[in-house]
Amino acid sequence: MNIVKRKNVDFPSILDELFPADWFGGIANQVASTTNTPAVNIKETEEDFKLEVAAPGKAKEDFILTLDHDVLTISTEEKKEEETIEDNYTRREFSFSSFKRSFKLPQAINKKEINATYENGILNVVLPKREEDKVKPKRTIEIS
36 band by pLDDT with thresholds 50, 70 and 90: low
96 band by pLDDT with thresholds 50, 70 and 90: confident
Average pLDDT across the chain, whole number: 78
**pLDDT per residue over 43-92, tens digit each?**
999 899 999 999 888 888 999 999 998 999 999 988 888 888 888 888 88
116 band by pLDDT with thresholds 50, 70 and 90: very high
Q: Yes or no: say if 111 and 67 are a contact pair by the CB < 8 Å rule.
A: yes
25-39, 48-62, 90-104: least confident range? 25-39
Q: How confident is the model at residue 37, as a pLDDT? A: 81
Q: How confident is the model at residue 115, as a pLDDT? A: 95
Q: How far apart are CA 16 and CA 24, in angstroms?
A: 10
Within the chain, where are the H helices?
11-18, 21-33
Q: How confident is the model at residue 3, as a pLDDT? A: 52
Distances in Å between the alpha carbon of 93 and those of 11, 35, 78? Answer: 39, 19, 14
Q: Is 95 left (phi over 0), alpha (psi -120 to 50) or beta?
A: beta
**Higher per-residue confidence, 80 vs 109:** 109
Residue 49: how many CB atoms within 10 A of its CB? Answer: 19
Give the domain 38-133 fold: Immunoglobulin-like (2.60.40)
Asked if pLDDT for residue 138 goes beyond 90, the answer is: no
